[in-house]
Amino acid sequence: MIHNIDIKKTAIDTLLLEAHALEGLVQHIDTDFEKVIQSILELDGRVIVTGIGKSAIIAQKIVATFNSTGTPAIFMHAADAIHGDLGIIQKNDLIIAISKSGNTPEIKVLVPFLKQTGNILVAMVGNLSSFLAQQADYILNTTVDREACPNNLAPTTSTTAQLAMGDALAVCLQTCRQFSDRDFAKYHPGGALGKQLYLKVSDLSDNNGKPAIDTDASVREVIITITNFRLGATAVLSDNKIIGVITDGDIRRMLEKHEDLSNLTAKDIMSQNPKTIEKSVLAVDALHKMRENNITQLLVTNEGQYDGIIHIQDLLKEGII
């Protein structure tokens, strides 16, 4: 309690109020919404999203979501538009103007210029009798009963509604285009999500060495090999075929069991039937296999032949984990 304010209750009331507002949007998904989706799907140009104040921030997020899910989009600030940025708009573009009231001075100045371009104008608006709503070709109704702000002033519930309506547009477009996870990866090549969808085991293991020893290698040779390659393990080969693996853990267990190491060889201390993975599969599959088996490295194969090691640190460096 601070100054007799129940913080937990205030937070819960805010979330419930905004959740109720989002439920109310369901009844506003109408034929105009469907026509907007169809218009965007038929576009030869881009979606230009504009707004002022907090609505401008929401517009930027919607643009980012559109671009990452296959719908080319550009943000245009409503205040900057009338000072030169109108040049962004091309003849085949569609414009979405976001405003709660639809009557802000900037919107009233901007809309006539937008109408002159002949582009489709979509109003995402919370006031259906507003100037913006009356001028628009289609309306996305984001009307809310009240703001979560105790003074019913600060944009809170209204911007949440705008954001959700933008997500509804993006997901519908993504679904209509059958935008797959592979498509998603093309737009996120540097992010963790994208890497999970395109980065292969070979992209990582090829950067490592290929530690390998024969079955009759001495303990000293085993330790030196593991140390030199710094991958925490080495493959044990016989006639160039994998028959085992020796890890740091195997070395420690060997030292606990044996005092005399002079007669021990790799075959005596290796783990048989090691876990392997083909170099052509996705790196994220290597992560899943490591987690399933509670291990930190896998022997990599190329059409069944030993081709190196992938370590969990490789995945960490790439942000896969």
Report how far residue 22's alpha carbon sits from residue 35's, in angstroms, rounded to the nearest whole number.
21
Query: Is 77 marked as a binding-site residue?
Result: yes
Q: Name which of 158, 173, 81 is nearest 121 in CA terms.
A: 81
β-strand pairing of 94-99 with 47-51:
parallel
Beta pairing, strands 94-99 & 120-125:
parallel
205 Ramachandran zone, left/alpha/beta (phi>0; psi -120 to 50):
alpha
Per the annotation, binding residues are 77
Per the annotation, binding residues for Zn(2+) are 77
